[in-house]
Structure 1
Amino acid sequence: MSATDGTPLTGATVLLTGASGGLGSALAAALDQRGAIVTAVGRDANRLNLLPARGGRLVADLCDSDACEEAVELASEATGSLDVLINAVGVVAFGPATDLSAVVLRELLEINVLVPMLLARAALPQMSRGGTLANISGVIAEPGRAMAHMAAYAASKAAVRGFDEALAREARRLGVRVLDVRPPHTETGLATRALAGQAPALPRGLDPADVAETICEAIESGARELPSEAFGS
């Protein structure tokens, strides 16, 4: 399989992080329906145990680089390699940038920016040629889409998009495709679990199941970018 091909999900070994979240759980279901061998990683053991995960489950804090290594090892245990990594880890904070505490800013950047970097560092050496690494930056990372009272969150997601753009060039030598995923607002419940502040008035978001289907289709089709308009909003 060449790097320009899609990655078939039937029988693929998939590491799904953030699996206990709203989008993560929808992705776990969509991947399982396609016959993928999913290793699900999250912080909520109860929600994780409800997910289809033929590759196993791991409760972990991925801000710890050792946990990232453990997750990759678990996912690649059966075949010795990893076909797909989907990173759906993320947190949000609301409020003027001048009002957010240093503690909140550090946690936001650590989870939204550092975790994708740590996962990529751990996963890429184990990924098979023709594999796909997908990070979710979101519509807010697109030019002109950042909102007031979401400056720190927008910055974290713009950092992910920049990381993906550069990583795609590096991973190409390994035959791995990096997919930057930018869905519009989705009804995952993330806004109700903010690190700080209260969400501004938002229109009704997309169904996580529909977003998960679009992401799976992009992985299989060979898409190299998944902008907000690809979700049909």
Structure 2
Amino acid sequence: MTELRGAVVLVTGASGGLGSRLAAQLTERGAVVVRAGRAGGSLQGPGAYVADLREPTGAASLIAAALQAHGRLDGIVVAAGVVAFGPADAVADDTLAELVDTNLLAPIRLLRHGAEALAASAAEGRDPFVVTISGVVAESPTAGMAAYSAAKAGLAAYVGAASREFRRRGVRLVDARPGHTGTALSEHPIAGSAPAFGAALDPDAVAARIVQAIADGEKDLPSTAF
């Protein structure tokens, strides 16, 4: 079991449909949540920070802000992401770059820059963790979303390999792969238009499942867990 009360947890994408719910539910469990979002978003007030995770310096700035504010870091939840739709042979370079920078490189940089602080948390007797959300497309790449699927599958592969390294330092990595979830993400793609997905998962239930997995010490959340 992971004690969330008093844990300092950085949540990226905290103004989004799933990230906001994760931040709220972690707060309800007693965690000290450092909320992060992109400039121009709806985040306000103490404990809220702005960074562009497409930029190489964005992840480092958020880790530094959390440490400066609280002196330690016990968890990271990566809920920031973008989506695009369209034919595999028609994805533009700027769309491809944003998909990869936001969905793959940003989480890698967050883990890289947060590793030392998370290991220090483990050394002090806590149970630090990182949660990424690659989604069901990491398991079942989807036509019309090839580039998005590739970025998310790359994230799942990175976490699968990195988790073996991080666990030696007492840090648990968890990748969550829920199916299509009823947030506004698909309504605001960076390119293309969303197809008809059918019934969506309840975002409150998805967030609750992820938070429960953190508390229960789970190590993986495949699509079947939702």
> 2: CA distance between counterparts of 1:87 and 1:116?
7
| Root-mean-square deviation (Å) | 1.4
Give the counterpart letter for 2:149 in structure 1: A
Give the corresponding residue for 1:227.
222
1:20 alignment partner in structure 2:
15
**What TM-score results when the alignment is normalised by the length of structure 1?**
0.90
1:11-44 deviations in whole A, cap 9, x for unaligned?
1100000111110111111111111100000015
Paired AA for residue 162 in structure 1: A
After TM superposition, give the deviation of residue 72 of structure 1 in Å: 1.1
Given the alignment of the two structures, is residue 31 of structure 1 paired with residue 26 of structure 2, yes or no?
A: yes
Give the distance between the partners of 1:230 and 1:158, measured in 2 at CA: 18
After the TM superposition, which of the residue ranges 162-171 and 40-49 deviates more from structure 2? 40-49
Residue 40, structure 1, aligned to residue 31, structure 2:
no
Partner of 1:153: 148
Q: Distance in 2 between matches of 1:164 and 1:68?
A: 17
Of residues 163, 175, 194, the one that matches 1:168 is 163
What is the CA–CA distance in structure 2 between the aligned matches of 1:213 and 1:183, rounded to whole Å? Answer: 12
Letter of the 1:172 partner, please give it: R
Shift of 1:70: 2.0
Alignment counterpart, residue 93 of structure 2, candidates 102, 118, 122: 102
Instruction: Work out the CA distance in 2 between the residues paired with 1:125 and 1:65.
Output: 18
CA distance in 2, matches of 1:11, 1:182: 27
| Cα distance in 1, alignment partners of residues 95 and 69 from structure 2 | 38
Q: Structure 1: which 5+ runs fail to align?
A: 1-5
Structure 1: which amino acid aligns with 2:129? Answer: T
Superposed CA deviations along residues 109-161 of structure 1, whole A, max 9, x for unmatched, are: 1111110111111111111112001111001111xx22211111111110000
Tell me what 1:86 maps to.
77
Partners of 1:203 and 1:151 in 2: how far apart? 19
Q: Give how far 1:63 is off.
A: 2.3
Shift of 1:62: 1.6
Partner-residue secondary structure (3-state), 1:226:
coil
Deviation string, structure 1 residues 196-233 (Cα, Å, up to 9, x no partner): 111111112112111111111000101000111111xx
> CA offsets per residue over residues 46-93 of structure 1, 9 Å max, x none?
5212xxx86x11111022233322211222335422111000111111
Separation of aligned partners in 2, 1:165 and 1:135? 11
CA distance in 2, matches of 1:58, 1:11: 19
Alpha-carbon distance in structure 2 between the residues aligned to 1:216 and 1:73: 24
Q: Determine if contact 1:91/1:112 at 8 Å carries over to the other structure.
A: yes
Which one of 132, 136, 139 corresponds to residue 139 of structure 1? Answer: 136
In the alignment, structure 2 segments of 5+ residues that lack a partner are none
Instruction: Indicate conservation of the 8 Å contact 2:38/2:50, yes or no.
Output: yes
Distance in 2, Cα, partners of 1:89 & 1:79: 22
Identify the residue that residue 76 of structure 1 maps to in structure 2.
Answer: 67
The alignment-based identity, stated in percent, is 46
Q: Secondary structure at the match of 1:196?
A: coil
